[in-house]
Structure 1
Amino acid sequence: MARIDRWGEPDPHRITVLFFSCNYVIGGMQRQLTDLVTHIDRDRYRPLVACFGPSGPFADELKAAGIPFECWNVEPSYDLSAPRMIARMVRLLRRERVQIFQTYEFPTKVLGWTAGRIARVPVITCAEHGTGEPKDTPRKTWLLRRLSHLCDRFIYVADAQRRFYRDERGFRLDGRTEVIYNGINHRRFDPGTVVPVPRAEFGVDDDAPIVGITAVLREEKAHEVLLRAMPGIERHAPGARALIVGDGPERAKIESLARELGVEDRMVITGFRNDVERILPLFDVMTLCSDPVAETCPLSVLEAMCMGKPIVATSVSGLPELVVEGKTGYLVGIRDNEALGERIGGLLANRVRARTMGEAGRARALAGFTIPHMVAHHERYYEQIWSETQR
């Protein structure tokens, strides 16, 4: 374990912020955290990042940018070893004289909020990037409600997510919240500069209409809804193909269902890709047919919007806050494969409408969902919560 190197003593013009994550492997939350700390104003803030472990490629990005990073390579636990974990966090907080302590997943909340209070950190804040389900048990939810008074403020990535924690989870938030939408790298997802992957790599004809989805192959992502929608799509757009970008535990089940439905020759699963920006140009329409527990402010939708693609998605969680119905795409009911097929097929058959919606979606993404927007909002938030401690 490498010790965090000091960046000099804190001063009135530089606020030390420690971001503590459960792990630092590849994920949407880790992507957003990396973008935040590597773009934040370091004349004003001293960002530090730590995690229980393991870590992955994003940690290399932090180190390349000169962001102090510490990975403990331990499994967080809540048995007799919990006091040792808390004590270790307290030592880190005191050693680095942390002024704002930001936690993320369940282990960092339970252990971190307690450690933050013991260390007398001026501000403890929590960034929520999901709903926690289906992993969270009623016992976990009860424990978080009981401990939530230890956290000063909560960040949510969609207003629907904030309402979920208030109305469904029963958290007493009492105005202690801020909604900060995710931000994407608009330069990486620029249709004017990206060189697309050749269609031949996926065995797709040059003139075949393509509906695409970029999502981990997990049950809650509901890829089977797209497969069941294929007949409806083809009624409007003969020869249409479904390009599924990603991999995951449901892959065998999805492939089996495709054979059962007789659509296996109209579907391609690419497996894991780290060049999504080169595959998105092949899409004529981007879809996301997830269940309610799966999404908050999905980066995949923002990336597709930035690439100028119309969106057809289920109307769950924060998606209605991203997709403007009838302008940048369409929203359909949960697991409504008929409506999904109708909307996707209609856009594939009407390229002019699809292009107009895609252009509107790109303009919307550039106007409020980029890394600079996300970072600027965080900086305003930190200034506000820090100034409240100085009164």
Structure 2
Amino acid sequence: MAQASSTTTPARKPRLMLFTDSFLAGGTERQFSSVVTQLDRKKYDLHVGCIQRRGPFLAEVEALGIPIQHYPIPSLRSPGTLCWMSRLVDYLRCERIDAVHAFDFYTGAFAVPAARWAGVPVIIVSRREVAALRPPLQRWVIRLYCQMATAIVANSRAASVSLTGFFGARSGKVTIVPNGIDLADFPPRQPDEAVRQQLELPADAPLVGILAALRPEKDHATFLRAAALVHAVLPEARFLVIGGGPERVRLESLVAELGLKDSVLFLGDRRDVADLLAALEVVVLSSLTESSPNAVLEAMAAARPVVATRVGGVPDLVEDGATGFLVPPGAPAAMSQRILDLLRSSELRHAFGTAGRARVEREFTTQQVKQRLEALYDRLLGARLALEKSLVDPARA
């Protein structure tokens, strides 16, 4: 009787294609870039797809030498979108992609149907926000592509609850993978005097900052009204608004109305966020809705105390009375009181900052995100690759 050959076919690397809308300086784009950079390329054959091939994180991904496929659809309703979707289908089939992971709304709406059309066995979508942020038609689209997906990654318990309660996703489909921070980017350090000099701020002025895009849901108006209340008690305090967006003109008018023109600085989008955080005494988040805000994690990683609204997934990050204070949304009086509590006590600021840094080290690093995603990929792809191996190597079936 002939003996079975001892030669076996070596296992091939799973082929993963990760999709982002763009490489702009947003929270989702930052997390996408971090994941692509961190994933083990000895273990996976990585491919990247995008709709907009632009933004500050593009060079970081290009430097890895990973193939980046560009699908420049002007909108989901554009007549040319089906043509670009067909090109994606061809690519997925030609490259024999095993798994597609779409990181945001637009890539979910574009890449998930294409992956189903191409017969990709594993389809993953990420949900990084709660239902309130989307109009009805987009909510319907989300519900549809979540039904098509093999698995859904939520970055907070709030996003997970939104998926199962609002979008009808099965709880067994949902895996929570919180956002992660590269601790090397935010070393805890003493306040940065160079930033004060650059911004022409008094050396002894207490500095309070908010790091968020200037969009309605971030509710900067509450932060500015809280700043006015703090200013009435500590007129030497200064307030930094870090981030750009469509609300800037309206917010600048509010600053003038509140009599804060000499106390509030709008800094726009910045790449030196770590330096700015190092100069601040207190970091504030005034959002009306959030899932897992990077700004809070960055502040905690930089060992800065946080005053944040108790919304969405924020309580998963900020431990009230230990790493910061939680206040109701839209409540400038409560917010201002907690800011003053921190400005009046360097000991409290130090204790909260130290505890916040320790919590990020324990639970919210990019390495932990990598491990959680790789565990998910391996679980979903394991059965697929085992079946494929049994077909090419029957002796081991």
Deviation at 1:289, TM superposition (A): 0.3
Matched-pair contact (CA < 8 Å) for 1:13–1:44: no
Deviation at 1:235, TM superposition (A): 5.6
Matching residue's letter, 1:220: E
Deviation at 1:56, TM superposition (A): 2.4
Give the unaligned 5+ runs of structure 1: 1-9
Select between 234-243 and 378-387 the one with higher mean Cα deviation.
Answer: 234-243
Deviation at 1:320, TM superposition (A): 0.4
Partner of 1:305: 300
Partner of 2:391: none
**2-structure distance, mates of 1:332, 1:65:** 42
Partner of 1:83: 82
Secondary structure of 1:264's aligned partner? coil
CA RMSD of aligned residues (A): 2.1
Deviation at 1:147, TM superposition (A): 4.2
Matched-pair contact (CA < 8 Å) for 1:236–1:348: no
**2-structure distance, mates of 1:322, 1:228:** 25
Matched-pair contact (CA < 8 Å) for 1:53–1:75: no
- CA pair 316-104 structure 1, distance change in 2 beyond 3 A: same
Please show how residues 2-13 of structure 1 align to structure 2 within 5 Å: 12-13=11-12
Partner of 1:380: 375
Deviations 1:97-127 (A, max 9, x none): 1111111333322332222122111100101
Please show how residues 91-106 of structure 1 align to structure 2 within 5 Å: 91-106=90-105
What TM-score do you get using the length of structure 1 for normalisation?
A: 0.91
Select between 295-304 and 144-153 the one with higher mean Cα deviation.
Answer: 144-153
**2-structure distance, mates of 1:259, 1:77:** 40
1:277 aligns with 2:279: no
> Number of aligned pairs?
378
**1-structure distance, mates of 2:145, 2:17:** 20
Select between 104-113 and 340-349 the one with higher mean Cα deviation.
Answer: 104-113
Select between 10-19 and 372-381 the one with higher mean Cα deviation.
Answer: 10-19
- CA pair 194-311 structure 1, distance change in 2 beyond 3 A: closer
Decide which of 178, 184, 189 is 2:186's aligned counterpart. 189
Matched-pair contact (CA < 8 Å) for 2:191–2:280: no
Decide which of 147, 152, 164 is 1:149's aligned counterpart. 147
Partner of 1:72: 71
Decide which of 319, 322, 325 is 1:324's aligned counterpart. 319
Give the unaligned 5+ runs of structure 2: 1-8, 388-397
Deviations 1:208-248 (A, max 9, x none): 11111111122221111121112432465452211111222
1:221 aligns with 2:221: no
Matched-pair contact (CA < 8 Å) for 1:125–1:153: yes
Matching residue's letter, 1:125: I
Deviation at 1:159, TM superposition (A): 0.8
Decide which of 338, 345, 348 is 2:333's aligned counterpart. 338
Deviation at 1:21, TM superposition (A): 2.2
Deviations 1:134-184 (A, max 9, x none): 3x32122223324432111000111111112222x3323231011111111
Select between 198-207 and 345-354 the one with higher mean Cα deviation.
Answer: 198-207
Secondary structure of 2:15's aligned partner? strand
Deviations 1:300-338 (A, max 9, x none): 111111111000000111110000010000100011000
Matched-pair contact (CA < 8 Å) for 1:284–1:309: yes
What TM-score do you get using the length of structure 2 for normalisation?
A: 0.89
Matched-pair contact (CA < 8 Å) for 1:49–1:70: yes
**1-structure distance, mates of 2:291, 2:194:** 29
**1-structure distance, mates of 2:345, 2:233:** 9
Deviation at 1:75, TM superposition (A): 1.9
- CA pair 172-355 structure 1, distance change in 2 beyond 3 A: same
Please show how residues 23-34 of structure 1 align to structure 2 within 5 Å: 23-34=22-33
Partner of 2:395: none
Deviation at 1:79, TM superposition (A): 5.3
Deviations 1:269-315 (A, max 9, x none): 122211111111111010010111xx211111111111110000001
Secondary structure of 1:77's aligned partner? coil
**1-structure distance, mates of 2:139, 2:193:** 44
Decide which of 242, 247, 259 is 1:245's aligned counterpart. 242
Matched-pair contact (CA < 8 Å) for 1:62–1:68: no
Deviations 1:194-215 (A, max 9, x none): 9663312223211111111111
Secondary structure of 2:214's aligned partner? coil
Matched-pair contact (CA < 8 Å) for 1:131–1:161: yes
Partner of 1:173: 170
Partner of 1:212: 209
Partner of 2:136: 138
1:262 aligns with 2:259: yes
**1-structure distance, mates of 2:10, 2:95:** 12
Select between 220-229 and 185-194 the one with higher mean Cα deviation.
Answer: 185-194
Matched-pair contact (CA < 8 Å) for 2:125–2:146: no
**2-structure distance, mates of 1:40, 1:194:** 34
- Radius of gyration: which is bigger? 2
1:286 aligns with 2:283: yes
Select between 315-324 and 21-30 the one with higher mean Cα deviation.
Answer: 21-30
Secondary structure of 2:124's aligned partner? strand
**2-structure distance, mates of 1:337, 1:378:** 38
Deviation at 1:20, TM superposition (A): 1.8
- CA pair 196-318 structure 1, distance change in 2 beyond 3 A: farther
Deviation at 1:354, TM superposition (A): 1.1
Taking every aligned residue pair, what percent have the same amino acid on both sides? Answer: 32
